[in-house]
Structure 1
Amino acid sequence: MPKVTAQGKTFECPQGANLRQVLLENGVDVYNDLASTINCHGIGTCGTCTVAVEGDVSPAGWREKSRLNLPPHSPRKNRRLSCQTKVLGDVRVTKYDGFWGQGDRLRWTPEG
């Protein structure tokens, strides 16, 4: 089973599991500030669950690519919508600042 490392925690999940759901189920908050209340609940339209992911995950689909090409996101930042990302192997997840996680300052890293 793949291992996910985020916010100082490491846990296993089934291959193909939804990254957002896995993170939330293991006490990792993928949202910054008010985005925890104001979000699309995983349908891929708001962009607030954005994270940086290292490791084996599914390729971005059309919905995710479309959202990440709209401001305040930028495709150059190499971020993913956790709600649209499937875990295929071991991954390390990082969260950045900003309402949508679009910022440049670290909010949390795989180590904590």
Structure 2
Amino acid sequence: MPQVVAQGKLIECESQANLRKVLLDHDVDLYNSGSRVINCRGLGSCGTCAVKVEGEVSAANWRDQTRRSLPPHSPTSELRLACQTQILGDVKVTKFDGFWGQGSQIVWTPEV
């Protein structure tokens, strides 16, 4: 079973599980400030669940690529939309500041 390390938590999940769902099911603070209330609930249209993911995950689909090509995101950043990402192997997740998680300051790292 793949393992996800996020916000100091070690989470085991099924292969091909949705990253957003896994993080939220384990009380990881995926959303910053007001985006906790105002987000697309996993449709891939708002971009507020953007995180840096290291490890084995699915290739970015068209929703992920399209949303990250629009401001304030950048298609050249290392971020992915958690709601559009499937976990294929062990991963480490980092969250950055900003309403859309697009900032330069780290909010939380995989480790505590």
Runs of 4+ in 1 over 3 A off after TM superposition: none
Note the residue ranges of structure 2 that are not aligned, 5 or more in a row.
none
The letter of the residue matching 2:20 is R
CA–CA distance in structure 1, aligned partners of residues 11 and 35 of structure 2: 24
Matched with 1:86 is: 86
Matched with 1:72 is: 72
CA–CA distance in structure 2, aligned partners of residues 105 and 96 of structure 1: 6
Superposed CA RMSD: 0.5
Q: Residue deviations 1:50-106, cap 9 Å, x none?
A: 000000000001111000000000122210000000000000000000000000000
The letter of the residue matching 1:54 is E
CA–CA distance in structure 2, aligned partners of residues 21 and 32 of structure 1: 16
Quote the offset at 1:29 in angstroms: 1.5
Determine whether 1:51 maps to 2:51: yes
CA–CA distance in structure 1, aligned partners of residues 107 and 76 of structure 2: 19
Quote the offset at 1:35 in angstroms: 0.1
Matched with 2:27 is: 27
CA–CA distance in structure 1, aligned partners of residues 110 and 29 of structure 2: 13
The letter of the residue matching 2:85 is T
CA–CA distance in structure 2, aligned partners of residues 108 and 75 of structure 1: 22
The letter of the residue matching 1:23 is L
- Report how many residues are paired: 112
- TM-score, normalised to structure 2, is 0.98
